Amino acid sequence: MKLRVLFAALAAVMALPAAAQDTVKIGAILPMSGPFASYGRQIDNGMKLYMKQHGDVVAGKKIEVLVRDDTGPAPEITKRQAQELIVKDKVNLLAGFGLTPNGLAVAPLITEAKMPAVIMNAATSIITAKSPYFVRVSMTLPQVTAPMATWALQNGIKKVYVLVSDYGPGYDAEGQFKKTFTAGGGEIVGDVRVPLKSPDFSAYLQRIKDTNPQAVFLFLPAGEQGVAFMKGFHERGLDKAGIKLIATGDISDDSVIDSEGDAALGLITSHHYSDAHKSPLNAAFLKGYAEIDPQMRPNFMAVAGYDGMALIYAALKKTGGSTDGDKFMAAVKGMKWESPRGPVMIDPATRDIVQNIYIRRVEKIKGHYYNVEFDTFKAVKDPGKQ
Ligand code: PHB
């Protein structure tokens, strides 16, 4: 009897490593609390939705996601969590990264461990150049900004004031806008960088009003900041003064656009995803998302979480379930698939995503506000790498 118990215990212990080998563990580092918590919620929901639609077994491996909360822009926390996930939890892949400083922080670790890391938001161009084990399924700021500058030039906008968030993605947006816009004959009449955390827009808005540009080009990180800016722009009468607002789609992301309300009507933005995108795949995505999180409209981050899992599943199918860093990275290079945002591809040279960038206008439809796509720049690569 005792012997049998001992054998059973032994068998259980011995079964462990075998079971572990049949599992692919993904460590997802995301802001799940603090002012950027909606990023984590969106991305986590997107990952869950993909798994719900496609099952949790791929190439004979059970997929397991371990979520860690980085609390917001916190590179030190992210680094420690990545270390623990790799060493203690023995994950096979890393994913997530809502903010640029956090993505950058893990570059040396993943290079050392030869561990693939799928970036699901962080959008400063340089990140993917910091390790050959990064692949990005979100966007880069130069990629979404260049079409906005081109569109502005084509539509008679000649004098622009530039306002961006004072960190990596803001510098990328500012740099690319100025480059494309001035190369096409446009003039920059002023610029300002605002703090990443809790910016107070009143003084900036007044300065812009006094400068009286034809338009403001803007990048702010998605979420509540956009709501505050749009309200201020409207309340201080910049719109009534005839100043146009153009921006990357982060400002009017689908999860906050209803809170912006009428203040956002007519706003023109450039981005890779709108929940108003018309395709059967997007319709299925929206339906599935509503079942997972009925309180929230999915935005571009949810789509990146979803597509990140699509990429992982497709890569594992190609490698026969292997997560070996070099095999996995070889599998993702050049990969093409259909996303709820439209057709996408991983650029084999940069490991960044190639995708359509849409020009959209905010419209009110049946009591809700939407970014309605009306123009498309097809298969845009990250100009930040060129
Ligand atoms: C980033 O930190 O890279 C970031 C955050 C929010 C955005 C875009 C980029 O909307």
What is the number of alpha carbons within 13 Å of residue 95 lying toward its C-beta?
Answer: 30
CB 85 within 8 A of CB 29: yes
Q: Which of 106, 42, 95, 35 is nearest to 68 (CA)?
A: 95
Q: Is 169 in the pocket of ligand 1 (CB under 6 A)?
A: yes
Statement: the pTM of the whole predicted model exceeds 0.85: yes
Is the CB of residue 264 less than 8 Å from the CB of residue 364?
no
In angstroms, what is the span from residue 193 Cα to ligand 1's centroid? 15
CA of 4 to the centre of ligand 1 (A): 57
Over residues 103-147, the pLDDT tens digits come to 999 999 999 999 999 999 999 999 999 999 999 999 999 999 999
CA distance 333 to 348: 4
Return d(Cα 307, Cα 343) in angstroms, integer: 11
Counts of helices then strands in the chain (DSSP H, E): 13, 15
Ligand 1 lined by 251 (C-beta under 6 Å): no
**C-alpha 121 – ligand 1 centre gap (Å):** 6
Q: 226: CA distance to ligand 1 center in Å?
A: 12
- How many angstroms is it from 122 CA to the middle of ligand 1? 5
Q: What is the pLDDT of residue 64?
A: 98
Altogether, the residues listed in the chain come to a count of: 386
What is the per-residue pLDDT for 18? 47
pLDDT on residue 5: 54
The CB of 222 under 6 Å from ligand 1? The reply is yes
3 state SS of 196: coil
Q: How far apart are CA 364 and CA 361, in angstroms?
A: 10
The proportion of the chain whose per-residue pLDDT surpasses 90, expressed as a percent, equals 93
Ligand 1 proximity of 225 Cβ (cutoff 6 Å): no
Q: State mean pLDDT over 209-221.
A: 97
Pocket test for ligand 1, best of 42, 100, 136, 143 (most atoms within 8 A of CB): 100
Query: How many angstroms from the chain centroid is the CA of residue 129?
Result: 17
pLDDT of 292: 98
21 pLDDT tier (thresholds 50, 70, 90):
confident
User: Ligand 1 within 6 A of 173 CB?
Assistant: no
Q: How many CA atoms lie within 13 A of 279 on its CB side?
A: 14
Task: Compute how many other C-beta atoms are within 10 angstroms of the C-beta atom of residue 15.
Answer: 10
Q: Which of 97, 121, 218, 257 to mutate to test the pocket of ligand 1 (most atoms within 8 A of CB)?
A: 121
* pLDDT interval class at 4 (50, 70, 90): low
User: Which residue puts its alpha carbon closest to atom 9 of ligand 1?
Assistant: 123
pLDDT (0 to 100) of residue 198: 82
pLDDT digits (tens, 9 = 90+) for 281-298: 999 999 999 999 999 999
Q: How many whole angstroms from 33 Cα to the centroid of ligand 1?
A: 16
pLDDT, position 1: 46
d(CA 354, CA 34): 31
C-beta separation of 251 from 229 below 8 A: yes
Which residue CA neighbors atom 2 of ligand 1 most closely? 99
Judged against a pLDDT cut of 90, whether residue 362 lies above it is answered with yes
pLDDT tens per residue across span 92-111: 999 999 999 999 999 999 99
Say yes or no to pLDDT of 11 above 70: no
Q: Indicate whether residue 124 lines ligand 1 (CB < 6 A).
A: yes
Which helix (H) or strand (E) segment holds residue 338: the answer is strand 336-339
Residue 288: predicted pLDDT: 98
- For residue 209, which of 240, 231, 178 has the smallest C-alpha distance? 240
